[in-house]
Amino acid sequence: MVKKNICYLAILLISVFLDQISKFLVVANIPLNDEIVLLHGFFSLHYVQNTGAGFSILEGQFNLFYILTILAVIMLAYFYFKAKDDEKVLKVSLMFMIGGALGNFIDRLRLRYVIDFLDFYIFGYDFPIFNIADSFLTIGVILFILAYLFEIKELKWKK
């Protein structure tokens, strides 16, 4: 049991590490508000500082983000510990979501903004700039939906 939990904890720690190291590299190599075009018309690295949430909503609402992140991490951790051992996809999804939440939480605590840099143009639409933590959150949500559809046998959590 402990060995299994260490694997899931490793997923969480690796996701936070990858997020933070990517942000460090962006700040060290790209001036604020500059971009490096990697695939013209599709993808660039564009360093911005986001004081809000996705799409820059609720800019400057630091206390709200602190409270919501702490509550979300507690709730996700609760679900993790209540999940059954054979619900592996569910547990991985929860670790990705916690890792993503913590990656952005670290930025907000340390800097009072989130470092965003992944900028995609999809069918001519400039998608909002995001980061690795946001990617892990999204992957976690997708895996959670898949776990809900295909892995979770009952809606009751183990007691």
Other C-beta atoms lying within 10 Å of the C-beta of residue 97: 26
Is residue 119 annotated as part of the catalytic site, yes or no?
no
In a 3-state reduction of DSSP, which class is residue 78? helix
The active-site residue, picked from 19, 107, 116, 119, is 116
Distance CA 58, CA 34 (A): 24
Q: Which residues are within 8 A (CB) of 11 and not within 5 positions of it... i.e. 6 or more apart?
A: 92, 95, 96, 99
Q: Is 19 a catalytic residue?
A: no
Which of 19, 107, 119, 134 is the catalytic position? Answer: 134
Phi-psi label, residue 60: left if phi above 0, alpha if psi -120 to 50, beta otherwise:
left
CA distance 11 to 19: 12
Catalytic residues: 116, 134
